[in-house]
Amino acid sequence: MKRDGMMHLNLFVMGNGHHEAAWRLHESAPDHVTGIDYYKRLAHIAERGKLDSLFLADAYGLPPTIQYKVLMSLEPFTLLSALAMCTERIGLIGTASTTYNEPFHVARKFASLDFISGGRAGWNIVTSTSDVTAANFADERLPAHSERYERAGEFLEVVQRLWDSWEDDALLADQTEGVYADTERIHQLNYKGRFFAVRGPLNLPRPPQGHPLLVQAGASDSGKAFAAGSAEVVYTAQNTMEDGRRFYADLHARAAACGRSSWEMKVLPGFCAVIGDTEAEAVEKENSLHELIQPEFGLSRLSNVFKTDMSVFDLDEPLPFDKLPKQEEINGHRGRHQLFMDMARREGLTVRQLMMRTASSRGHYAMAGTPVQIADEMERWFMNRAADGFNLMPPYLPGSLEEFVDKVVPELQNRGLFRTEYEGFTLRDHYGLKRPPCRNWRHSHEQAVRQQ
C-alpha cells in the first residue's frame, strides 16, 4: 500500500464554517464575514499549517435561506487578490462560472491574480446550478445541463488560448530600440465557436504559472468527462472510502483515456472533521452543533437538492424515493442529488435524519474523533487511492481549522504524509504539477484559418 509523495490539503473557506449552524456558536462572529480581517486570519492559520491552497466557492445570487445561513464569503477575485498581499506561499483558488461570465474577463482576472500573487492562482470551474443565479442575468431559467457543459468546454478552450496568446518571451521591454513587446510573438485567436467569438490577444502577458491551476468538481457524467479531460485538481463528495476508491479509479481511467498521466490530476474528497482530545469530547462538540440546527433551513436545503417541496412529507418517515425526481430530471447539482439518494438508501434514513446527516458538510464525508483517529482515516483513504489529499471543510471557523493545523497536521507530518515546509513557490509547485508549455501557434493558426 506504499505510495510515493505526500497528500495535498486544501482549505475550503465557507462563512463561519461548513456546519450550517456554526454561525450560532458563541465563539463565531457571523457579522465578520464581510470584513477582510476574518479571512486574513483564516489564511494565516492555513499557511502556518503549510496547506497547499485555500479555496472560495461562489454563486451569483442570494439564497432565499439567508435568514438561516451566513453568506459564503466576499467576492472571490477581490478577496483572493487582497489575501495574496498578506500571505507568502499558500495557493489561492477562486470559483468562476462559465455560464454567466465572458471568457475574456475570466482569463484576464485570473492572469492578473497570478501576477499579483506570484503564481498562486487557481480557477475552480463551475457551471451554475441555480435558478436564483439565472434570474440575475436576464434569463428566465438556467440553460439545460448538457448545454451548460458544452459552453463550459468552449469557455475553457478560449481562456487557455487567451493565456497563451502572448508567448513566454513576448515582453521585451527594450528601451534602447523602443520595442516593448514583440508583436510576432503575440497572437490573435480568431476563435469562433457556438457560444463565443473572441479575437484576442489578451491584454496581459502569459501568467507566471503559464495557466493558473484548473480545478473542477462536477460529479455528473458530463462533469466527470470534463474533469478527466482538463482538471488538475478535482474536488469530490464521497461518503465512504469504497465510493471514494471507485470514483478515483473511474476518474483516473477516464483521464488516461484522454492521454493524461495519473500525476497530472489530484483527487481531493471533501473532509469535515470535528476534533476533540477524546472521542467523547469530539462527539459532544458535534452534538452541540447539531442542536443549533434549524429544521426549516435543513428542509429547504433538501428541497433544493431534490427540486421538490420536502415540507409536504412526514419528517420521521423514510425518504420517499418514488416521489422524488430521478437524477436525469434534475437541472442543477446532479452529483449532490445522487449522493443524498445513496446515503438515505444505504443508511435507511428518514427525512429528518438525512437533514441532520448532511448538516455538517452537505453530503461530504464528515467524522468526529481525536487527532489520531482523524489522521488514521485520512491515511486510510490516501493509501487506498481513494484520495490524493483532502478538501478540508472545517465545521466551524476559525476554531476547527486551528485545531486541525495544531493537532492533525503534526500527526500527518510525523507519519511522513504531509510536508513540514513549503518547497516551491507557486500553486503548481505545491501540487507537483508542471507549468504547461505555450500552445504551438503556427499549427493552431492553420486551424484558425480553416475554421473561417
Looking at beta carbons only, is 75 or 279 nearer to a second copy? 75
How far apart are CB 60 and a second copy at their closest, in Å? 6
Residue selected from 180, 263, 328, 434 as contacting a second copy according to rule CB under 8 A: 180
Contact positions with a second copy (CB under 8 A) in 32-51: 34-36
Q: Match 477582510 to its residue by C-alpha cell.
A: 36
Residue selected from 9, 11, 156, 186 as contacting a second copy according to rule CB under 8 A: 186
How many residues at the interface with a second copy, by CB under 8 A?
A: 72
Write the CA distances from 331 to 34, 56, 220, 305, 319, integer angstroms: 31, 23, 11, 10, 21
Looking at beta carbons only, is 121 or 392 nearer to a second copy? 121
64 binds a second copy (CB under 8 A): yes
Backbone angles phi, psi at 174, to 5 degrees: -85, 100
Q: What x/- string results for residues 104 through 123 when contact with a second copy is judged by CB under 8 A?
A: xx--xx-xxx-xx-------
How far apart are CB 130 and a second copy at their closest, in Å? 11
CA distance 30 to 15: 8
Looking at beta carbons only, is 140 or 421 nearer to a second copy? 140
Looking at beta carbons only, is 225 or 292 nearer to a second copy? 292
How far apart are CB 146 and a second copy at their closest, in Å? 21
82 binds a second copy (CB under 8 A): yes
Contact positions with a second copy (CB under 8 A) in 190-219: 196-205
Of 45-53, 65-73, 144-152, 280-288: span binding a second copy (CB under 8 A): 65-73
How far apart are CB 257 and a second copy at their closest, in Å? 33
Residue selected from 171, 225, 356, 448 as contacting a second copy according to rule CB under 8 A: 171
Contact positions with a second copy (CB under 8 A) in 289-318: 292, 294
288 binds a second copy (CB under 8 A): no
How far apart are CB 391 and a second copy at their closest, in Å? 22
160 binds a second copy (CB under 8 A): no
How far apart are CB 31 and a second copy at their closest, in Å? 4
5 binds a second copy (CB under 8 A): no
60 binds a second copy (CB under 8 A): yes
